[in-house]
A and B are shown apart, each in its own frame.
Chain A
Amino acid sequence: AQKVTQAQTEISVVEKEDVTLDCVYETRDTTYYLFWYKQPPSGELVFLIRRNSFDEQNEISGRYSWNFQKSTSSFNFTITASQVVDSAVYFCALTQGGSNYKLTFGKGTLLTVNP
């Protein structure tokens, strides 16, 4: 069985603050893939990143960065200099290799960036 834990239910920051969203996962597979999605109030899921289990290199994309650490089974997401438009629910998700690649989602973290 696989599991994704996002311990932070809600986070509130002031604009321009940095914020880190935590994600801890459990899986027995050696091959797996991790994702982050953003869900703004409109409801549509926006894909942010995918990482496979063999690539522990951290990634930076603009104000977004991701820290993947297999030793602690974590895949944390940091937003630098947050903006009001970053306000959304962020989901971490996991899938193992397999025929259908079913996604297991964490419960999500509601990020509110206040002006």
Chain B
Amino acid sequence: QVQLVQSGAEVKKPGASVKVSCKASGYTFTSYAIHWVRQAPGQRLEWMGWINAGNGNTKYSQKFQGRVTITRDTSASTAYMELSSLRFEDTAVYYCARERYMDVWGKGTTVTVSS
């Protein structure tokens, strides 16, 4: 069945970078874009950006522009979200979702920023 499997939890120090992966299975990876969404503890969902898995084109939220980079490896059917210059407030669960009407979501990756 269609699945998005995300990488495991991460603990990072302020100023570091984190790279979260999202491996797709059960469909042709290049047929749909992948969104990245995050949710800080007790807070709202935040859309971070997306990547066209076919041609690699990206679009980012203004809030994260300059700090986030979304890439993909078509040979591995995997999308990646890298967030740099981490701050304490970047502590959140990071989700990927398939752009077929956002029908499939990963289970989320917890990123903790702590000194």
Tell me, yes or no, whether A binds B: no
Residues of chain A having any CB pair with chain B under 8 Å? none
Residues of chain B having any CB pair with chain A under 8 Å? none
